[in-house]
Structure 1
Amino acid sequence: MLRGLYTAAGAMNALQRQQEILSNNLGNVRTPGFKATDGVVRSFPEMLLAQVSNPDNGKSRVQGEVGTLSMGVYLQETMPQFTAGSVTETSSPTDVYLRPAAGTAGVPMFAVEQEGETRYTTNGRFSIDEDRFLRSSDGGYILSSEGERIQLPSSEFQLAKDGTITSLGENVATLGAFQIDDLTTLEQVGNDWRVTGEAPAQAPVEFQQGFIEEANVNLDQTMADLMMTYRQFEANQKVVQAYDKSAERAIEIARVR
């Protein structure tokens, strides 16, 4: 009886984690460049049950196979989806979109200095701080193609398609864009990414000032998945409650006897 209880409880754990993932996707539907995450649910390996007898000689003997028993499911891993989001024209000079070159694989990202290390982001919504440094939405320093912080002589600047930043008539720096070909080397840190392998090379992109890539979250599908996950959670919760009532009745019968 307890096997069914453990199976339902394990499913509830997996579904609760799924709800957290979907809720995070839903909460970032307006975050520029956000990449939705999917949870991969797997079933535990099935167990083969057999009928065993123990004759007088003390040696167990298999009399026949009963069948297989599933031990439920678990959330194996989470996988970010790096499909491109829609592109919106904002006319804001601090909004930048990376348009990948035709026929290229991988994902182009901006480089950002955050907490003393270089990370990468697909969020092109920047800002300029009081010292005129170009900053990311999370407060990190946007880096040039040389890996240096970008400090502007003025709050007004122009960005060419090749990434050249011009302000007050002079070239200040070249905005960095880096190509992540092996997505398995990415480790998510907040809304940014850390590369665990070799440092990525320059990406063949076209910079577009005044445009932004939106989150790739499908709002309608995410809402539907969230409701379905919630109903599945409730169904497994009722199974656990039924097992709990059965165990309570069994204890009462045992006490009477």
Structure 2
Amino acid sequence: MSMLRGIDTAASGMIALQRKQDALTNNLANAETPGYKQDASPLRAFPELLLERIHDKQDNQFGQRPVIGSLTLGVYNQETLPLFNQGSLVSTNQPFDVAINDQQLAPIMQDNKLIKPSAFFAVQSGDGGFHLTRNGQFSVNALGQLTTSNGELVLGRNGAPIMDPELTLGDVLIRENGEIIVHPDDAGRARTVGSLGMVLVNNPNQLVKEGNGLFQLEGANLGMIAQTIPQGVTMHHKMLEQSNVDLPQTISEMMMNIRQYEANQKVLQAYDKTLEQLNSIGRV
């Protein structure tokens, strides 16, 4: 039985490490994606088993069986968790690029834990779904609608898509409070065409990653869009937030992961040889 436990332990380690490697590879592939939030992939041990001697002639002085110790039957990778720390802001000089800076948001207490809120742009997918994103690499389509790089419609504070025919001209100013002004250098024609919708999520750990830089929050609706920019949050025009992937650390973790995987593989090979020898002895 102890040998089979060893096989199970090594096999569980290989499966968990494979899933962690997938998460690290995805982080590496998105290192240049604006607003991308890297995934952490923690490994957890299976619940420990308490071993006792059950065939002793007598129990100990407390009427209990003598305890041998605890046994853990391997590890598992239950989930990947996005990390929402702020990425670096870089200048792009593109007319519709916007970056969120929410570093000054104060942590709040939830379930006896300090959790830092995060701010997101509000967008609408093609099927009408309500989503959140940190990727402020926006553009304008032929209808004058402000869109994400993947075509989702960017929502304003009123919950409606931001659109104006003159947005196609690209002569805009986006203020720190999210107001979008067309023709900012023409005093006679300058006007506000809308304000970027922003959603403040008190506990970003509740968000579900959906791909393409989008997040979903259970029960989220248009009523969550803030009517004013929360204190501690600013928007920066003609800038983008880079991904928060730490390249050196990610590459280092991938190499360590591979070595750990190979170590578990060698354990399985050793057990396989031992079982093969046992079978050969049994045949003799």
Give the TM-score normalised by the residue count of structure 2: 0.82
Paired residue type of 2:203: D
Write the letter of the residue equivalent to 2:216.
R
Among 128, 140, 159, which residue is 1:147 paired with?
159
Is 1:117 aligned to residue 155 of structure 2? no
C-alpha distance in structure 2 between counterparts of 1:153 and 1:198, whole Å: 30
1:40 to 39, 42, 49: 42
When the two chains are superposed, the root-mean-square deviation of aligned CA atoms in Å is 2.1
Asked whether 1:138 is paired with 2:150, we answer: yes
Q: Could you tell me whether the CA contact under 8 Å between 2:197 and 2:225 is conserved in 1?
A: no
Q: Displacement, 1:104?
A: 4.0
1:159 aligns with 2:174: yes
1:165, 1:89 → 2: CA distance?
Answer: 18
- Tell me, which stretches of 5 or more residues in structure 2 are unaligned? 58-62, 108-116, 184-188
Are positions 1:220 and 2:222 aligned together? no
Specify the SS of the correspondent of 1:120: strand
CA separation in 2, counterparts of 1:87 and 1:21? Answer: 24
The range that moved more, 4-13 or 203-212, is 203-212
1:135-156 deviations in whole A, cap 9, x for unaligned?
A: 1122211111111111131221
Which sits farther off after the overlay, 75-84 or 26-35?
Answer: 75-84
* Contact 1:107 1:179 (8 Å CA) reproduced: yes
Contact residue 34 and residue 242 of structure 2 kept, 8 A: yes
Secondary structure at the counterpart of residue 111 of structure 1: strand
How much does 1:175 deviate? 1.2
State the Cα deviation string for residues 160-216 of structure 1 (Å, max 9, x = none). 222221225332111112211122431211121111145434142332210111000
Q: Identity rate of aligned residues, in percent?
A: 38
Deviations 1:194-243 (A, max 9, x none): 11145434142332210111000000000000100111001001111111
Deviation at 1:46, TM superposition (A): 1.7
Match of 1:14 in 2: 16
Give, as a single letter, the amino acid of the residue that structure 1 aligns with 2:179. Answer: T
Does residue 197 of structure 2 align to residue 176 of structure 1? yes
Q: How far apart in 2 are the matches of 1:220 and 1:182?
A: 28
* Offset at residue 62 of structure 1 (A): 8.1
Please identify, of 127-136 and 101-110, the stretch whose mean Cα deviation from structure 2 is larger: 101-110
How many residues were matched structurally?
251
Answer yes or no: is the 8 Å Cα contact 2:30–2:36 preserved in 1: yes
Question: 204-213 or 18-27: which moved more?
Answer: 204-213
Q: 2:87 matched to 1:93? A: no
Q: Could you tell me which residue of structure 2 aligns to residue 108 of structure 1?
A: 119
Following superposition, the deviation at residue 47 of structure 1 comes to 1.4
- Provide the C-alpha distance between the structure 1 equivalents of 2:4 and 2:38, rounded to a whole number of angstroms: 36
The answer to whether the Cα contact below 8 Å between 1:41 and 1:73 also exists between their aligned partners in 2 is yes
Question: Which secondary structure state, in structure 1, belongs to the residue aligned with residue 165 of structure 2?
Answer: coil
From 185, 188, 205, the equivalent of 2:209 is 188
SS in 2 for 1:231: helix
Instruction: Note the residue ranges of structure 1 that are not aligned, 5 or more in a row.
Output: 56-60
CA contact (8 A) 1:53 1:62 kept: no
2:236 equivalent to 1:238: no
Deviation at 1:117, TM superposition (A): 0.8
Question: Following the alignment from structure 1 to structure 2, what is the Cα–Cα distance between the partners of residues 99 and 62?
Answer: 60
Normalising by structure 1, report the TM-score: 0.90
Amino acid at match of 1:218: D
In 2, the alpha carbon distance for the partners of 1:101 and 1:250 equals 61
SS at match of 2:78: strand
